[in-house]
Amino acid sequence: MMQTPDKGIVLVVDDDNFQLEILGQQLHSLGWSRLLFAASGRAALQLFDAHKADIRLIISDLSMPDMDGLVLMRHFAQRELDAAIVLISGVSDEILNSAAGLASAHRLHLLGVLSKPNSLESLATLLVKLDAPSAARQRGHDAALSPERLRDALDRGEFVPWYQPKVQASSGQAVAVEALARWPGSLPDGDMVGPGHFVAAMENVGLSDALFYAMARQVIADMKQWRDQGLELKAAINLSMDSALNLDMPETLHQLVLAGGLQARDFIIEVTESRLMVQRSLAMESLTRLSLMGFKLSIDDFGTGYSSLVQLVDLPFRELKIDGRFVRRAIMEEKARTILRIAATLGSNLKMDVTAEGVETLEQLQYVRECGCDTVQGYFFARPMPFDTCTRWLHAHAPGA
């Protein structure tokens, strides 16, 4: 008889014995044979401490008498929890969403939230996300992020820009592209290390500037090709805060643009809002100089930082990009709808272009149009694409196409 592979332990935490029984039956039907049950937060911590190495998933209720799920998450975070977590409760969706935000703030691996009573199908959908990379793949991933490998990849020109179009909300015609760094073939199996990993790794070893200039050179060359083909659009380049703190960066970037036969006005420099308070005076100098040179400044992921309005007052931003999380949640949550609408109105009143990120459905597109967003970006129109693929897409969606 073929032996079922060990999938690890699931720790289920709920003060309702009937709910524990239901979840146990559902997990057994999904192939999970090793289950631990705790009727309180304190009991859950004792079981976790005893079986930490084998626990792969924790399913926890929020409302429990001795230690609620929110406090329990804090204790898990203090124990540097590696396992995934699912939150389940009969509370309102608003409270569930706040709990999910807390899990993210604790840097926990949250698979999702479930409302009671949950269905077998909803639980199965979340558990599909547990398919983790193999140990061999993880070793390849770690080796790819070593300082030596990163420097070698830069020297070989392995990092390339992929492009995601930005389109007019009213017509769907392309007006710009955002350049996103990619590293094709960076793993032994031919797959890619994601930018969320390699960008942070480069920042840690002082290679942010090298990556920024490598991307800028390629984007400039690609833009020149598009202009020669009659495609009139702007290109957005993401600027890390490490590079913004380099006071020589504005002049170096400007010289690269001019040497490539283009002008500063052809480019948008996107800065993530949440990092603008780091050594703010130096960043303000660099960003203001870029604006003086003619680059268009864009504040990215608007709404996720802690001093949004200060940045809009103090720095010459000309575009406001509303974070995609508000776009995705606006269809279901009144608070997110209100924030999205206010952000769009704010940007418009400040004479800024307003872009909605993360538009994935027709319903979302219609709503951001109603809110007054000028441009949109997201999977509804196009995913990030290599240069050749994006070139074909642009020719099909350019004004007059």
pLDDT tens profile 232-268 = 999 999 998 889 889 999 999 999 999 999 999 999 9
**Are residues 259 and 155 located together in one domain of the fold?**
yes
CATH of residue 82's domain is 3.40.50.2300
What is the structure's pLDDT at 187? 63
Residue 116 inside a domain? The answer is yes
- Name the pLDDT band for 121 (thresholds 50, 70, 90): confident
Asked if residue 26 and residue 67 are part of one domain, the reply reads yes
CATH of the domain at 385: 3.20.20.450
Query: Of the residues 101, 130, 159, which one is the last residue of a structural domain?
Result: 130
Task: Give the orientation angle of helix 387-397 with respect to helix 208-228, to 10 degrees.
Answer: 40
Side-chain half-sphere CA neighbours of 229 within 13 A: 15
Round to whole Å and give the CA distance between 306 and 90: 31
Q: What are phi and psi of 357, to 5 degrees?
A: -90, 160
pLDDT at 2: 37
Lowest mean pLDDT among 10-14, 155-159, 173-177, 277-281: 277-281
131-155 confidence digits (pLDDT tens)? 644 444 455 566 678 889 899 999 9
* Percent of the residues in the chain that have a pLDDT greater than 70, as a whole number: 90
Q: Residue 208 pLDDT more than 60?
A: yes
Q: Are residues 123 and 142 in the same domain?
A: no
Judgement on whether residues 121 and 152 belong to the same structural domain of the protein: no
What is the per-residue pLDDT for 135? 44
The pLDDT tens digits of the residues spanning 26-65 come to 998 888 888 999 999 999 999 999 998 889 999 999 888 8
Q: What is the mean pLDDT of the chain?
A: 87
Same domain, 261 and 374: yes
pLDDT at 138: 52
For the chain, percent of residues with pLDDT exceeding 90: 52
Domain interval for residue 69: 9-130
Residue where a domain terminates, one of 61, 96, 130:
130
Asked whether residue 167 falls in the same domain as residue 255, the answer is yes
Cα(360)–Cα(176) distance, integer angstroms? 18
Residue 176 pLDDT: 96
3 pLDDT above the threshold of 50: no
Give the number of domains in the chain: 2
pLDDT, position 239: 93
Q: Is 125 in the same domain as 177?
A: no
Please indicate whether residue 215 or residue 105 has the higher confidence score (pLDDT). Answer: 215
In a shared domain, residues 290 and 350: yes
* pLDDT single digits (tens) 282-322: 788 899 999 999 999 999 888 766 556 777 888 899 999 99
Residue ending a domain, among 87, 106, 130, is 130
Instruction: Convert the pLDDT of each residue in 333-369 to its tens digit.
Output: 888 899 899 999 999 999 999 999 999 999 999 999 9
Torsion angle, alpha carbons of 239, 242, 247, 253, to 10: -30
